[in-house]
Structure 1
């Protein structure tokens, strides 16, 4: 696959000291009664505070099932690890969105083959038109001649997981 060969990868990222302090402060603020851990509900509030959305039941179940069964909730170090991973995913998705937007010069919310050709002429002028067409067809899963952000994101992440 083209994206496997391209090696689409999120950059490694570390939280700044101020961001790390903010995460610790949120943990402490959400740790009702200073238990030393976050319950399921505490965790949901912390995610709202840091990311602006309430986690779904599936996300909360997944997080809680990964917690050490000998504890009653999420300890600070576990929480920091979870938040760091969520932040990395958020940054990677934003990077993919930025690339998609650069391709979508008409702000239509989808890409055409012509959009791909123009973008590739600018960033990889020696790439053959045949290769650009192959990439487009690979991403256009439903063969309707349009690539949505969802299709584009899937292709970028698929390439990342393949390599």
Structure 2
């Protein structure tokens, strides 16, 4: 019981001290410092220039990973970022295209399945087999347009 009473008395003292500090800090008017003057405009001609053979300090910064165009297309469909595109993630109007891409029929599209189909599409468009697509060859990779569905 003595420990409880001592703890309660300690809490009351701490609350009282906090109240006095709060009231004391509220009553003080602390002037805000004046804002510094705006920086002077510097003429770009007088800025120092680095020499061509100047030493660099430290290692070169690492280059950021830039995903390929196919990886960006794949990531557009992979909404939850688990490296697998499910049927729900694919647009509902694309179920036939999904079935064609899903080679093993498990309703999951891996990046490898996606890349194989794209590689096959590239090989089909590369008529002369030089691993380069001309504008004419690239034009053949465009999806066929369907007639507009108009309820006019």
Q: TM-score range by the shorter chain?
A: 0.3 to 0.5
> As a proportion of its length, which structure holds more helix?
1
TM-score normalised by L of structure 2: 0.37
Larger radius of gyration: 2
